[in-house]
Homo-oligomer: A and B are copies of this chain.
Amino acid sequence: MSRFAGARRFVPILNWLPRYAKADLPGDMIAGGIVAVMLVPQAMAYAMLAGLPPQVGLYASILPLIAYAALGSSRALAVGPVAIASLMTASALGAVAESGTVDYVAAALILAALSGLILLAMGVARLGVLVNFLSHQVISGFTSAAALVIGLSQLKHLLGIDVPRGSLFTDVVVDVIRGLPSTNLATALVGAGAIGLLILSRAPLARLLRALRVPRGIVAPLTKTGPLAAVFLTALVVWAFGLDADFGVAIVGTIPAGLPHAGLPRFDAALWTELFPAAVLITIIGFLESVSVAKALASKRRQKIDANQELLALGAANIAASVTGGYPVAGGFGRSGVNFAAGANTPLASIITAVLMALTLLFLTPLFYYLPRTALAAIIIVAVLNLIDLRTFREAWRYNKADAVSLAATFVSVLVAGVEAGIVFGLAVSLALYLWRTSRPHIAVVGRVGETEHFRNVLRHTVKTAPGVLAIRVDESLYFANASYLEDHLLSAVADDKTIEQVVLICSAVNFIDASALDTLENMIVELRDAGVTLHLAEVKGPVTDKLQRTAFLEHLKPGSLYLSTHDALRALTGTTRAPRA
């Protein structure tokens, strides 16, 4: 096996498959089966959300799962079509082609290929950390708004009304309200029934089964069959009562049987370029969702997730989707949790899911002929309702208003300007608020606590200050955006109190001083000197001192004006002659 040593690092399947323990098989088989039962209806529903034919969702649920299983560092992540990436796909493709056309499907393949290439490039450049720049609040605001947009966009299918394909929330609201009078009653009834079934199949069914003393190991899987049950029951109803022909209920119709054909996506430089920005955003959002689910699940079993390896694995999964007739895929929140809870021990569970999806395509597609679109809409609506998250906003509002503002800004801008502009705007707002905060650092005048060597904020503690000496602590690293703020603050303090002759700037919280701030400090020394005031520095950290020693800055200070501790500085400046303590 030694010849695989190099490859094993980047191809985890070479590690786990040869050592596969038989004891892991039952868990993997059950988990793989349950995920397949969830994935069949979801794949078709999310494809509909993306404006694509249902088989495209099924195609995206075979080879991508196997590619991720071979390369992923998570043992439980369930890859495939997901709600938000599907919505973003619809938004991106709607700009370049008409839904229902060959060009639209071809563009979906290009989008998946772009997404895969971007993920691979980020993985090679080890840029997985870039996603950290999206704060939890921005993600929460984005997800809630996207869920609202998705839910609303499915109302037309749920009610069987015909509305133009609007992309903005506000447009869709108007369209749906205008369309309400033309609701198809039969469609709406089937849809409502499906929603009822889906809701009842969760907690209420679990409660009922537990009351009937059904074993726990059977209850959990049964509660996941709701979507599949809704698919078959509604299809049965439509067929039995002839709802499609006699009452105008829209059905899925013929789904071509058989596996997808392999082939490269069409190369069209202009189209690739046009889709690139949207692909970047789909990629980032999909990667974020995948990694956060994978991390959450891995930590429960003390396993590790390597973000850069995830980039490679998800990149391979999207490339796989693009060459087998699919569209952009990611790790899904709901299915991954089910996979984990159902006992997936290794990625073999995902391979089993993929095999079951392939069998579905080969043999079961005729069963979906009478499947009403309203049932798929019901599945989507019930799934995305879980994504609407008010708690994060409430908590952020209580804890830190700026975070709540960036959440609200993202939420509103997704509704008003669309998913792509919304996420970019949210990111910009959160970064701007962070920069704004660091540009106005907390600055505290400090005094000595009793007879100790400790110095604390005069406004928060009972402390003693020394006459003629201003000891001031700045609670932020100094950089271009805040150095002038400190300068103005110090110069005003000195202008306001003419007795001050010495200023001790305590740098215990200064982790860094950039070149611009250094210029400002140099200026400040001169300005203070011109005003008859001497600046001293105390508690400058090792790495900061090291850097300062490369410059002429320390020569600007009066000799000996750099003190290790505030205590040393105050002792020297107030002439106290107490012997230094050990």
Contact = CB atoms under 8 A, between A and B. Distances in A.
A136 B516 contact: yes
Contact of A435 (B395, B431, B509): B431
As for how many copies of this chain the complex holds, the number is 2
Interface string A528-551: 001100000000011100010011
Q: What bracket does the count of chain A residues touching chain B fall in?
A: 35 or more
A398 interface: yes
A173 interface: no
Contacts of A451: 582
Interface of A: 129, 132-138, 296, 299-300, 302, 304, 392, 395-396, 398-400, 402-404, 430-431, 434-435, 437-442, 450-452, 456-457, 460, 475-477, 479-485, 491-492, 495, 508-509, 511-512, 514-516, 518-520, 523, 526-527, 530-531, 541-543, 547, 550-551, 582
Contacts of A512: 437
Most buried by B among A138, A396, A515, A547: A515
B495 A543 contact: no
A144 to B, nearest CB: 15
Given A302-B531, A530-B299, A132 B481 contact: yes
B550 A399 contact: yes
A399 B511 contact: no
Contact of A509 (B299, B400, B508): B508
A541 B506 CA distance: 15
A385 B282 CA distance: 49
B442 A514 contact: no
Nearest to A131: B484
Contacts of A475: 511, 541, 543
Most buried by B among A134, A484, A516, A531: A516
Given A132-B480, A481-B132, A398 B439 contact: no
A402 B129 contact: no
Contact of A527 (B299, B392, B484): B299
Contacts of A296: 523
A480 B134 contact: yes
B484 A518 contact: no
Contacts of A442: 511, 543
12 contacts: A129-B439, A129-B440, A132-B484, A137-B515, A299-B491, A300-B530, A398-B550, A403-B515, A434-B479, A442-B511, A451-B582, A476-B477
A487 to B, nearest CB: 9
A514 B304 contact: no
Nearest to A526: B299
Given A398-B551, A509-B508, A516 B135 contact: yes
Given A304-B495, A395-B551, A551-B398, A476 B403 contact: no
A530 B298 CA distance: 11
Most buried by B among A483, A492, A508, A518: A518
Contact of A399 (B398, B483, B551): B551
